[in-house]
Homo-oligomer: A and B are copies of this chain.
Amino acid sequence: MSSKGSNGTSAGKPKLAVNVGGIQMINPVTTASGTFGFGTEYAPYVDLNRLGAIVVKGTTLAPRAGNPTPRLVETPAGVLNSIGLQNPGVDHFIDEALPYLAGFDVPVIVNISGDTVEDYARLADRLSQAGGVAGLEVNISCPNVKKGGMQFGSDPIMAAEVTRAVKGKTSLPVIVKLSPNVTSIVSVAEKVAEAGADALSLINTLLGMSIDTKTRRPFLGNVMGGLSGPAIRPVAVRMVWQVYQAVKLPIIGMGGIVTAEDAIEFILAGATAVAVGTANFVNPHTTIDVVEGIEKYLYENGVSDLNELIGAAHG
């Protein structure tokens, strides 16, 4: 350290940049799929160029209408959702959303879902050719659709098969998003790693439900839904911790991140990057607050590079 900053501390800002399976991010903060739309919706509140990456709403081959309403119900420190992957389909995404996002200088990660292994392969193919996509996040863990989704995510063999199919059709970095609704997240992570995944996202939502004691019927139109928000953070941190110990892939950690401190908890557990989900609904500026808070933490704790913190709690 030759020079000192004007405020008397070691020169320069702490380094926040991370690399997730080949995707270079200026900081570790991205968005959880389905909670940030296609980016447009939050652009009035968030300078998208300040995000490490944007993970967009789950995309499927054909448009999907989604599930009946109500689709959302609040639970203690959490939210159950059963959106059901409503989306305009991959073609519409490529034609409408991608060109808009191309106007920003931020890696765009596309979250993809299918009913069959073949669906995933075709999505990977289409999106790789579209240009402007930095990586694919393979959602094998959505609890809100009848076919596919969680079925793939809870069976290590199927999860690996989907991973291989996607890898076979793309040269983009492939991030596989795991379901927490399994006996051993490590087994799934290991198989997915063997199948060639470049990174892992965890966790998707916990399968839950809520019943209205007035009507005596389930609250959600679709009966069950996915639990997200602060309530699930302890489960998410535990899974990142376990997978970090077992598998040598970079992890995007998520599940209940509201503050920079929450994000750092995930990084200490082993996440290379973190995604903000439900918290966006509470404060549309959360992502940027988390970026700034992480920087402040590093600064105050004399950590010059965020990468030093990854997995540091394993001691």
Contacts and interface: CB of A to CB of B under 8 A. Distances in A.
Contacts of A77: 76-78, 230-231
Interface in A261-288: 261, 264-265, 268-269
A234 B80 contact: yes
Contacts of A246: none
Contacts of A261: 213
Contacts of A297: 213
A238 B315 CA distance: 37
Interface stretch (A60-68, A131-139, A162-170, A216-224): A216-224
Nearest to A206: B235
Interface string A219-258: 0000011010111111101100100000000000000100
Contacts of A312: 216
Contacts of A154: 183-184
Given A154-B184, A211-B237, A211-B268, 10 more contacts: A76-B229, A76-B233, A183-B183, A207-B238, A210-B233, A211-B313, A213-B264, A213-B268, A218-B313, A230-B231
B231 A78 contact: yes
Copies of this chain per assembly: 2
Contact of A265 (B213, B230, B265, B315): B213
A224 to B, nearest CB: 6
Interface residues of A, number: 44
Contact of A315 (B76, B217, B224, B256): B217
A139 B291 CA distance: 43
A152 to B, nearest CB: 12
Nearest to A73: B234
Interface of A: 75-78, 80, 154, 181-184, 206-211, 213, 216-218, 224-225, 227, 229-235, 237-238, 241, 256, 261, 264-265, 268-269, 297, 309, 312-313, 315
Contacts of A264: 213
A163 B218 CA distance: 32
Given A76-B230, A183-B183, A237 B216 contact: no
20 contacts: A75-B234, A76-B77, A76-B229, A76-B230, A76-B231, A76-B233, A77-B78, A77-B230, A80-B234, A206-B235, A209-B237, A209-B238, A210-B265, A211-B237, A211-B269, A211-B313, A213-B264, A216-B312, A217-B315, A225-B234
Contact of A313 (B76, B217, B224, B229): B217
